Amino acid sequence: MALPSLDGHWHQNKRGDARIYLLDVHDKDQPDAGFIAQLLIEQVESSVPDGQGGPPLEAGLQLFYEVIWRHNARGPAAKGHFQASYRRGFGGEETVSLTGSRGAPGAVFLDPEPIRGLRIGTYLMNQVVTWALRWPEADVCPIRLNSNQGYEENRARRNRFYERFGIVFNYRDDTHSEGISQPMKVRELRQVNTWQQNIQERDVRDGLAMLRLENERLALERDGRSRALDHVRNELGRAHRHPLLWALLQMWQIYAPSRSQIFLALLAMGLIWWQFKS
């Protein structure tokens, strides 16, 4: 029996409803090269039914991420989560928060900084937007930008991050360090799929199989190097015990004629001997 959280009806590298899966992250400038980071993702959804078969009264999404491998990684593993929520009021009004639970305002952060700029945040936010589009007529809760959300040179990237998804801000100053998003409907949000250029979703079981094959390859390589090292040690021991004999044998192996040369020489000598004999 399949594991429900991992199965998700994978088909041709397309993720179905698998809750736990891997992300292979490649360099944006060299997407065809080997991946430079790998993340474990867990997607958790919740809902509160209305009891009458209609839309839920509340729904929530949490996307947990943990960096399990990163090229030249230093320090502890990075981890965090994105979250979103939906609420339907007694009057039928619908609201969606892209950054908080139960309609609460908030912002999204991707930590630590070394994994920023690889479209990981774009991937996670796109998952949030895709989930929110289930309620196209819902109002999007305002997103507030504060000046303490990142240093100065990072704010332009922060603002572009939101704006690519169709979110428009009213900024409070010329530096665009603070602001609040304009009212909008969920249907006005845009999905962003640029992450597909360098990020691939992968079944956890496929990732484990790949690691096993890589481990077997490294074990064979280690055994080969161990045998080569043993041979070098044996040769070094013979050289220490009988240095003159070992040197002569090495010179013979280097300068000794090949078998074909010896055969041709013997054949020539035989012909000469036959000629003189006759």
Q: Is the peptide bond before 114 cis (omega within 30 degrees of 0)?
A: no
Q: Taking residues 37-54, what's their average pLDDT? A: 87
The answer to whether residue 259 scores a pLDDT higher than 60 is: no
pLDDT at 197: 93
Which of 120, 108, 117 has its CA nearest to residue 167?
Answer: 108
Q: d(Cα 153, Cα 171) in Å, to the nearest integer?
A: 17
Name the β-bridge partners of 40.
22, 66
pLDDT of residue 105 exceeding 70, the answer is no
Token duo for residue 99: 């950054």
Contact 212, 171 (CB under 8 A): no
Please compute the mean of the pLDDT values over residues 202-209 and round it to a whole number: 83
Predicted pLDDT at 263: 64
pLDDT (0 to 100) of residue 215? 84
pLDDT at 1: 46
pLDDT recorded at residue 173: 83
Rounded to two decimals, what is the model's pTM? 0.76
Lowest average pLDDT, out of 152-161, 199-208, 246-255, goes to 246-255
| CA distances from residue 154 to 5, 47, 116, 150, 160 in whole angstroms, order as listed | 36, 35, 11, 6, 10
CA 108, 111, 116, 120 dihedral sign is: negative
